[in-house]
Amino acid sequence: MLIVADENIPRVRECLDGTGEVRLLHGRKMTRADLAEADALLVRSITPVGRELLDGTSVRFVATATIGTDHLDTGWLDAQGIAWTSAAGCNARSVAEYVVAALLEVSVRHDLSLDGRTLGIVGCGNTGGGVAKLAPALGLNLLRSDPPLERAGAAGPWTALDDLIAESDFVTCHVPMNRTGADSTLHLVDSRQLGRMKPGAFLLNASRGAVVDNAALLDALNEGRIAGAVLDVWEGEPNIMLPLLERADLGTPHIAGYSAEGKYNGTLLVVRALLDHFGLPPRDLPGLPPVGNGAGRPVVEGTTAEATLNAVVRSTWDIREDDKRLRQSFDLPEGERGAYFDRLRKEYPVRREFANHSVDTSGLDERTAGILRALGFACSRG
């Protein structure tokens, strides 16, 4: 069996050891010739998979180690009898923690208390649902909009998108990329919706770049119609709109879901799906090593609850460093910026989720310590 896989799927060769030949390739450089004799293809979000790539090849199984499937031509795959699957939910926790880190960073920079403010979540599947589980720990009130889930009878309460946009202090997007149909999300947040936001509101997007009209967002920021933006995804990736990065509070290179756990969960899900599809016996797959931070870092109380919480999150993963690295794009020739964006993703530093970190909360009040526990940190006193 020949399995072709994106070289950025972590530990995929190790997990498939003994299954067949595993050939690792750059996700943007895969060609039909590379797949001519392959039985299976494992990709991430940067590889368009459809007729152009697979027609005439022997590939009968495709899996993406990501939650989104907009890069798969699922209609064509179905018509050809090619099985496909995704790693739905694999990095939901990672993205939720990214949103928490971004909210805390923004609150400290702008001297805002999060307690009692409203977070509007656009898209409440695995990822948006993960945000909804963590955000109340910060004292945020929630509004949720997801018409497909609402029509399916999922438990609410639900808020119409127009109302959510108008009433929220923070709007965070977690929808799939649907370019057509009643539930199209292409430019779901456009100039009209941006015009409905409060002047002091912030927009966060960690879904797909084209969910937000980037040109309209730049205009809204330049004109002061909204307070700020946090962007992990961009229209035109990897060649992003640098004037928008310049105006964003935080800009990162599509890494919200890139915790070690989030990426590795994607590997585990596609490997298990591949084994099942080809009738191969299940196997014990290796886990991730522990963080090993001993008894935990002591926490020094900040001037506000947000400052204290932000200090703890920064000690485990500092979102400012991701932002700083992406802003180095400004120093590169235009022709090198796209490759640099991809390299930031490929060489992304190891980031472990909150639950892997122990903190000593001896110096904190019980409320702040309780928030840290609710966010998933392992807390102890002394």
Catalytic (active-site) positions = 208, 237, 254
State how far Cα 39 lies from the chain centre.
29
Block residue for tokens 């796209």: 338
- The edge-to-edge listing of strands for the beta sheet with 21-25 is 21-25, 2-6, 40-43, 61-64, 83-86
Q: Please state the φ and ψ torsions of residue 356, each to the nearest 5 degrees.
A: -85, -5
- Euclidean distance between CA atoms 340 and 326, whole angstroms: 8
Question: What's at 324, amino acid-wise?
Answer: K
- Euclidean distance between CA atoms 364 and 381, whole angstroms: 9
Q: CA nearest 105: which of 218, 249, 234, 220?
A: 249
Read off the tokens for 322. Answer: 């991701």
Q: Please state the φ and ψ torsions of residue 43, each to the nearest 5 degrees.
A: -130, 175
- Euclidean distance between CA atoms 359 and 312, whole angstroms: 8
Alpha helices in the chain (DSSP H): 12-15, 51-54, 74-79, 92-109, 126-134, 147-151, 161-167, 191-196, 214-222, 242-247, 260-277, 305-316, 319-327, 334-346, 366-375
Question: Containing H/E element for 52?
Answer: helix 51-54
- Euclidean distance between CA atoms 32 and 90, whole angstroms: 28
Q: CA nearest 296: which of 374, 363, 365, 351?
A: 363
